Amino acid sequence: MSAATGVGSLPGGAALASEADNARDYAEAVRLVLGELPDLPHVPELPARGAGATMTGRALAVVEGLACDLQPTGWRLTDAPGVDQRRARSLLARDLDCVEELTQGWSGPAKTQVAGPWTLAATTELPRGEKVLSDPGARRDLAQALAEGVRAHVADLRRRLPGVTELLLQVDEPALPVVLAGGVPTASGFGRHRTVHPPEASEVLGWVFSAIEAAGAVPIVHSCHPDVPVGLLRGAGARGLSVDVGVLAPAAYDGLAEAAEAGEWVLLGAVPALAAAENGETERSVTERVLRMLDMTGIEPGERTLVTPTCGLAGADPAHARRALSLARAAAGALR
């Protein structure tokens, strides 16, 4: 039986809004997810609330043993935790309090998300201002801090959500293909950071995936890049893949099929996040898009084949976001 879930982010909240208003927006997002995605709800993210709610800020709220703070150019490692990191941790805790409260009596599989080590290294700065990606020692320290953090994060979620039968932890790695290709710009903008070779990329990812599994969750990876390195991710220990069917390069099809054949999770982003209403998307059009991908890859739909919107719902109109989740659920139902 196919099901639907979300990628993670949703519209709502604002950086200058009051704490009470942002709390109400977050509670509404949780209710939306539970209502539209009852078979596999996810912990929603509302990045419009500010830097502490973005993908990078959220992950730096999870890391253990490394301090950081927010600078005009973005998040930067520091000697001691800054006020912005403390705020990010407080925001995450309040969000999880809300999820815990609104899921009382609920049971079933669920999903949450965290930025992966390579995307984090490409979006976080060293004290001197260059990206963590530029320093092999620092990027390994950051990855190990993330691995320790996800252990505690999964344990916290397990405690808060006793009805969860299977917890998926989605590791977001939109920057990984660019990191592997040596395409991340330096601070000056005039150069590019050196290519990270696959063996090192795999080893670092493996630390995080192993920590997730040891904590009792299932590591899956989301990337909306066309050149998702499926083989590298699976070799590092990923037990599922989340992709955008509209942009995925054919070179990834075989690896995706092998993942499905191995009983791993396959999440197919088939509902355009920003155009579900304007482009006249319907249950039929989304279902046909999924069926074309299944036909091209030879994947048979099953309980671990999920339909999702594409990433980017944080920038959608709330009504469009609701419709996108509804279409994903309807298409998953049609696949049954």
Q: What pTM did the predictor assign?
A: 0.95
Long-range contacts of 182-191 (CB under 8 A, 24+ apart): 184/122, 184/131, 184/133, 186/130, 186/131, 186/134, 187/73, 187/125, 187/129, 187/130, 187/131
Quick one: tokens of 7? Answer: 């990628």
CB 179 within 8 A of CB 201: yes
Q: How do residues 73-98 score in pLDDT, each as one tens digit?
A: 999 999 988 999 999 999 999 999 99
Q: Is the pLDDT higher at 105 or at 303?
A: 105
Rounded to whole angstroms, how far apart are CA atoms 55 and 22? Answer: 17
The contacts of residue 306 (CB under 8 Å, 6+ apart) are 2, 3, 4, 5, 40, 265, 266, 267, 268, 332
pLDDT of residue 303: 82
- Mean pLDDT calculated for residue range 124-152: 96
- Percentage of the chain beyond pLDDT 70 is 98
pLDDT of residue 265: 97
Rounded to whole angstroms, how far apart are CA atoms 49 and 233? Answer: 31
Q: How do residues 271-324 score in pLDDT, each as one tens digit?
A: 998 764 456 788 899 999 999 999 999 998 888 999 999 999 999 989 999 999
H/E segment holding residue 2: none
pLDDT band at 187 (very low <50, low <70, confident <90, very high): confident
pLDDT of residue 65: 93
H/E segment holding residue 105: none
The contacts of residue 159 (CB under 8 Å, 6+ apart) are none
Instruction: Please say if the pLDDT value at position 125 is more than 80.
Output: yes
- Mean pLDDT calculated for residue range 139-167: 97
Rounded to whole angstroms, how far apart are CA atoms 16 and 292? Answer: 43
DSSP single-letter state for residue 129: S
CB 250 within 8 A of CB 298: no
pLDDT of residue 278: 57
pLDDT of residue 279: 64
pLDDT band at 336 (very low <50, low <70, confident <90, very high): confident
pLDDT of residue 1: 59
Rounded to whole angstroms, how far apart are CA atoms 190 and 188? Answer: 5
Q: Is the pLDDT higher at 144 or at 275?
A: 144
Rounded to whole angstroms, how far apart are CA atoms 141 and 14? Answer: 32
Distances (CA, A) of 94 to 89, 99, 160, 221, 307: 9, 9, 12, 25, 29
Q: How do residues 25-54 score in pLDDT, each as one tens digit?
A: 999 999 999 999 999 999 999 999 999 999
Distances (CA, A) of 246 to 206, 255, 286: 28, 17, 11
Instruction: Please say if the pLDDT value at position 227 is more than 60.
Output: yes
Q: Where are the alpha helices (DSSP H) in the chain?
A: 19-36, 55-62, 83-102, 117-123, 136-160, 176-180, 198-214, 230-236, 253-261, 283-297, 318-335
CB 221 within 8 A of CB 240: yes
Q: How do residues 209-223 score in pLDDT, each as one tens digit?
A: 999 999 999 999 999
